[in-house]
A and B are shown apart, each in its own frame.
Chain A
């Protein structure tokens, strides 16, 4: 059992957990992930390690409640326990001093990009962060990123905060303003990562994305998380999760992520239904 030392919402449905996991905290590097399971009936959910503290023996994960399990994870509070946390899994991010590095996070992707941005800064890069959200309340980790980055640009789809538009618009502005960008890391929804790849491709800027396929064991044993990169089938859990954005077949990734859409929807509907029922019962009592 893994104790939750602190839990707080950063945005609607987006919750940050600090979990006691000293071995993982000591080992993990930027870009790696853990798999979390919350009950004997639960799924195995891969989540990127956003941060860690060796002194406290803790790791931080940031979870967006989308399906049944991620919403159930987000019902956990400080002092509660996760049944299983395993890791650190996957290959660490490739970090070097590229020169100027732009880290782009879309929604909860910002949490995944955060540790790599931090590592890029520590490696000596001039680090720029672009953090996107639907609206102001969905822009997360701005304060934390300002502490570690040289420049931080929030963007919102509705213009309620920062740059009005998508992260790609801001990225284009930066490139076209004459800043020599040497490296781009983009993590977020698949369409966003695909769009970023298309922005940087004509400029030949090295661009890396972190993929989020369906996974089961996370150790290369099942092959459920396979993706195609540069025409080759890869297992994201052991060959990634980070890959060259210009080589990734995003269309295939999107299609494969639809495999269990109807099952996910029925499970979520049932879950929401149960919560409504509990809520109604609580009110009636």
Chain B
């Protein structure tokens, strides 16, 4: 087949992701996206212009050789493509599913200037899935052992990536996890329908096969301290990747009524503890069947919580967000999927007070409407908005989740500092 011209490549439309139909998937927890077929993957890969100076790589936090792996996909050499990705990213099946590509690699893709950018995330996912389901995840090469020991605190995406990189460089790596299972937010936060837990497990197993040691039930700061790791246990370096995901309540009246959850609690119960399978699993979650659910926030966590509520049988599942849709920080795909699944979006609205009954159960919420303001004129705490009216929800809303800005409050949990030589902390920026 003759090489395609640039013009021909530009004429291929971005290939849609095959997915479960909205009306059936909003009743189950199996993955929404089904993944590209080989044909779709090849066609999508042909859209890549193979830029001499590719911008996409600049947008990738770990510097995946995007152009090269896509070329290998176009050539049909999927296993080589997988190896190419894994030179820089040890979690391709996870990242292909949950990275915010539209803000990273795909945002920089030149085809996106005139049309739609190349679906880099979908291709990454395809390549990772292809390898896993055909040959199984193949082991990367490990450099000569350095004799250095590294402790990694937290087994979320940061910790796992760091572990993979360091073990390949020849270091001895131990990952400490506070919970009983490995994966951090990938297993307690992100729902099964967006990131199946067996995918996480496969990538964790691959790291274990490379020699990474995992220790669950280890709350660093309590079970061990960083000082002890470095002095008593002989670690040469410590990487702190504990995330920033502590719930931050809004200090509103009534937020301790039964039925008001942090997204972390709601999602942990459903995902990590598998409350959606109660009583087969022992941990329950508030029964939302036939009830109204309001989720405050507009990020990925909010989308996960609201779509989970819908799947658990909520009659109405709503996103209530203080600004407008364009300001929502969630991945575009999540917002799109949520809408298809029947999630209602209420914009420019904030909760003022939660209302409950004598027995302590939530039954409503008082809201305030806002309007977008002229940025130049107002200097308030949130200069984007100003109030227009207060309103009381007429319907009975039995369950709410608070999904608010995540804060860095390591201090609250661990008396740790990073002024120790060899200790690196990786904290998310507050959103």
In the complex, what residue of chain B is closest to A89 when comparing beta carbons? B222
Contact bitstring B217-250, A, C-beta under 8 A = 1, else 0: 1110011100000000000000000000111010
In the complex, what residue of chain A is closest to B275 when comparing beta carbons? A263
Contact B265 A216 (CB under 8 A): yes
Name which of A7-15, A121-129, A160-168, A252-260 contacts chain B: A252-260
Known: A86-B217, A87-B223. A221 touches B282 (CB 8 A): no
A227 to B251, alpha carbons, bound, how many Å?
Answer: 13
Least CB distance from B278 to A in Å reads 7
Contact B180 A83 (CB under 8 A): yes
Residues of B close to A180: CB separation below 8 A: none
Contact A258 B251 (CB under 8 A): no
Contact A43 B264 (CB under 8 A): no
User: Which among B223, B251, B413 is the interface contact of A24 at CB below 8 angstroms?
Assistant: B223
Contact A216 B360 (CB under 8 A): no
Known: A42-B282, A263-B278. A217 touches B179 (CB 8 A): yes
User: Which among B216, B245, B286 is the interface contact of A84 at CB below 8 angstroms?
Assistant: B216
Contact B268 A216 (CB under 8 A): yes
Known: A258-B359, A263-B287. A219 touches B256 (CB 8 A): no
A259 to B178, alpha carbons, bound, how many Å?
Answer: 26
Known: A23-B223, A220-B413, A223-B249. A84 touches B283 (CB 8 A): no
Known: A68-B282, A263-B278. A85 touches B217 (CB 8 A): yes
B284 contacts chain A at the CB level, 8 A cutoff: yes
- What 3 pairs across the A-B complex have the smallest Cβ distances? A255-B360, A263-B284, A222-B265
> Size of chain B's interface in residues, with CB distance under 8 A?
41
Contact A259 B258 (CB under 8 A): yes
Least CB distance from B358 to A in Å reads 9
A275 contacts chain B at the CB level, 8 A cutoff: no
A27 to B218, alpha carbons, bound, how many Å?
Answer: 12
Residues of A close to B262: CB separation below 8 A: 222-224
Residues of A close to B179: CB separation below 8 A: 86, 217
Residues of A close to B282: CB separation below 8 A: 41-43, 68-69, 267
Contact B219 A228 (CB under 8 A): no
In the complex, what residue of chain A is closest to B219 when comparing beta carbons? A219
- Show the binding face of A for B, using Cβ within 8 Å: 23-24, 27, 37, 41-44, 68-69, 83-89, 216-217, 219-224, 226-228, 233, 238, 252, 255-256, 258-260, 263-264, 266-267, 270
Contact A224 B265 (CB under 8 A): yes
A233 to B245, alpha carbons, bound, how many Å?
Answer: 18
Least CB distance from B297 to A in Å reads 15
Contact B246 A43 (CB under 8 A): no
Least CB distance from A63 to B in Å reads 15
Least CB distance from A54 to B in Å reads 15
Contact B180 A37 (CB under 8 A): yes
Least CB distance from B235 to A in Å reads 15
Contact B222 A222 (CB under 8 A): no
B97 contacts chain A at the CB level, 8 A cutoff: no
In the complex, what residue of chain A is closest to B217 when comparing beta carbons? A86
In the complex, what residue of chain A is closest to B189 when comparing beta carbons? A221
Known: A41-B281, A85-B217. A216 touches B245 (CB 8 A): no
A160 to B216, alpha carbons, bound, how many Å?
Answer: 46
- Sample (14) of A-B pairs whose CB atoms are under 8 Å apart: A24-B223, A37-B180, A44-B273, A217-B268, A219-B413, A222-B262, A222-B264, A222-B268, A224-B265, A226-B256, A228-B256, A263-B278, A264-B284, A267-B282
B380 contacts chain A at the CB level, 8 A cutoff: no
Least CB distance from B260 to A in Å reads 9
In the complex, what residue of chain A is closest to B359 when comparing beta carbons? A255
B381 contacts chain A at the CB level, 8 A cutoff: no
A222 to B185, alpha carbons, bound, how many Å?
Answer: 12
Contact bitstring B406-427, A, C-beta under 8 A = 1, else 0: 0000001100000000000000
Least CB distance from A223 to B in Å reads 4
Least CB distance from A33 to B in Å reads 11
Contact A88 B273 (CB under 8 A): no
A270 to B280, alpha carbons, bound, how many Å?
Answer: 11
Best-surrounded residue of B251, B259, B282 (most CB of chain A within 10 A)? B282
User: Which among B219, B247, B256 is the interface contact of A89 at CB below 8 angstroms?
Assistant: B219
B279 contacts chain A at the CB level, 8 A cutoff: yes
Residues of B close to A220: CB separation below 8 A: 246, 412-413
Least CB distance from B304 to A in Å reads 14
B255 contacts chain A at the CB level, 8 A cutoff: yes
Least CB distance from B397 to A in Å reads 17
Best-surrounded residue of A221, A252, A258, A266 (most CB of chain B within 10 A)? A221
B269 contacts chain A at the CB level, 8 A cutoff: yes
